[in-house]
């Protein structure tokens, strides 16, 4: 496994890897998993998918300062270079790109990639500038790695929607591949930030997956349930946890992230074959967790 710390090294080695694969008559397609490190089983599942579906597997590890707000956790974002490299090696990564901040942002930056429309709600509303930072760094990484396909976890569903829009709008020649959320056995969605949770917070954080699951069952079973009813039930369930402070609970269309009309019942949504996302962001102490369920309503068996 090669480790590139500079953009020049990454480009040189990627060109070499492609050449080697071509000479072997093998698939030279690049699968790319961009991350901020502190890798867990969720990242491992993306790397596995990338390995299975591409001849060359590239991982980037870069804690991107421009996607953190002034009061967010950039300074204490967890890092574990050695364990990350071991996991990457285990998952058959060919090249890890791990640049410094100076390498990625050497001088005052004058270019920002802004995606509108899908960034106004959810995390886009509570973390102003966050998706500009994500879209800008991912554009830079795509220009460096030149992947054929890039794999992202569906836990960051809005990120997937933003990057899909960016790639479409800017005609970037890369396929965005969303991959399922990976959960602990008890339902907690894996996140590098779970490490911040105290024992009590970790226990209470289960309310996220539990409330989403209950809501999905309601959506399946109650054809007349309205978006407002579902949102208020999820809100009430989460509010019953003393340590939980809600940032948002929203039920929107997916991937356009538009609000649903209050007179739309689950039955009418199903008939329109509309995908929807029920998304939550909740703080436990200083740790903000997100989770979601994306439902393709045409596939949901409504008991009417």
Catalytic residues, by residue number, are 43
Considering only 10, 17, 28, 34, the residue that binds ligand PAF (CB under 6 A) is 34
Please report, for the chain, how many H helices and E strands are present, in that order. Answer: 11, 9
Burial of 275 per CB tally in 10 Å (0-12, 13-18, 19+): middle
Cα separation, 41 vs 61, in Å, equals 15
The first and second tokens of residue 254, run together, are: 């997916």
As measured in angstroms, the least distance from the Cβ of 152 to ligand PAF is 7
Rg (CA), the chain: 20
Considering only 84, 91, 132, 156, the residue that binds ligand PAF (CB under 6 A) is 156
Total of residues contacting ligand PAF (CB under 6 A): 10
3-state secondary structure of 72: coil
User: Which span sits near ligand PAF by CB under 6 A: 28-36, 93-101, 106-114, 241-249?
Assistant: 28-36
As measured in angstroms, the least distance from the Cβ of 22 to ligand PAF is 28
C-beta separation of 163 from 30 below 8 A: no
Cα separation, 66 vs 213, in Å, equals 34
C-beta separation of 67 from 137 below 8 A: yes
Cα separation, 42 vs 153, in Å, equals 7
Q: Is residue 119 within the footprint of ligand PAF (CB under 6 A)? A: no
Q: Is residue 194 within the footprint of ligand PAF (CB under 6 A)? A: no
Considering only 4, 14, 36, 88, the residue that binds ligand PAF (CB under 6 A) is 36
Residue closer to ligand PAF, measured from CB, 34 or 227: 34
Residue whose token pair is 């579906």: 53
Q: Is residue 166 within the footprint of ligand PAF (CB under 6 A)? A: no
User: Which span sits near ligand PAF by CB under 6 A: 32-40, 91-99, 207-215, 234-242?
Assistant: 32-40
Considering only 45, 54, 64, 209, the residue that binds ligand PAF (CB under 6 A) is 64
Residue closer to ligand PAF, measured from CB, 21 or 183: 183
Q: Is residue 39 within the footprint of ligand PAF (CB under 6 A)? A: no
Q: Is residue 134 within the footprint of ligand PAF (CB under 6 A)? A: yes
- β-strand 287-296 against 275-284: which pairing, if any? antiparallel
Residue 24 DSSP code: T
Residue 261 DSSP code: P
C-beta separation of 153 from 179 below 8 A: yes
Q: Is residue 178 within the footprint of ligand PAF (CB under 6 A)? A: no
Q: Is residue 33 within the footprint of ligand PAF (CB under 6 A)? A: no
Residue closer to ligand PAF, measured from CB, 159 or 287: 159
CA triple 291-169-164, angle to 5 deg? 25
Considering only 58, 138, 182, 277, the residue that binds ligand PAF (CB under 6 A) is 138
C-beta separation of 208 from 197 below 8 A: no
User: Which span sits near ligand PAF by CB under 6 A: 133-141, 228-236, 250-258, 280-288?
Assistant: 133-141
| Residues binding ligand PAF (CB under 6 A) | 34-36, 64, 67, 134, 137-138, 156, 159
């Amino acid at each position: 496994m090669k480790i590139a710390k500079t953009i020049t090294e990454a480009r040189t080695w990627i060109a070499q890897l492609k050449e080697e694969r071509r000479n072997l008559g093998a698939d030279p397609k690049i699968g790319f998993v961009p991350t901020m490190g502190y890798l867990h089983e969720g990242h491992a599942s993306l790397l596995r998918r990338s390995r299975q579906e591409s001849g060359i597997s590239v991982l980037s590890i870069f804690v991107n300062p421009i996607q953190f707000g002034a009061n967010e956790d950039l300074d204490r974002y967890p890092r574990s270079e050695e364990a990350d490299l071991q996991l990457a090696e285990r998952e058959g990564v060919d090249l890890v790109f791990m640049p410094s901040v100076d390498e990625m942002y050497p001088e005052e930056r004058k270019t920002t990639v802004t995606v509108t429309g899908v960034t106004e709600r959810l995390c886009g509303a509570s973390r102003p500038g966050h998706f500009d930072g994500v879209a800008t760094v991912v554009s830079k990484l795509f220009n460096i790695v030149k992947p054929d396909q890039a794999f992202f976890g569906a836990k960051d569903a809005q990120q997937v929607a933003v990057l899909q829009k960016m790639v479409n709008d800017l005609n970037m020649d890369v396929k965005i591949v969303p991959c399922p959320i990976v959960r602990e056995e008890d339902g907690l969605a894996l996140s590098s930030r779970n490490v911040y949770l105290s024992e009590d917070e970790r226990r209470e954080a289960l309310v996220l997956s539990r409330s989403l699951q209950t809501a999905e069952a309601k959506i399946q079973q109650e054809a007349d349930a309205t978006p407002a009813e579902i949102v208020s039930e999820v809100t009430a369930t989460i509010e019953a946890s003393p340590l939980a402070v809600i940032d948002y609970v929203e039920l929107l269309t997916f991937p356009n992230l538009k609000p649903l009309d209050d007179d739309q019942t689950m039955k009418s949504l199903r008939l329109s074959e509309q995908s929807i996302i029920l998304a939550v962001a909740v703080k436990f102490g200083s740790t903000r967790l997100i989770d979601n369920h994306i439902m393709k309503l045409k596939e949901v068996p409504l008991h009417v």
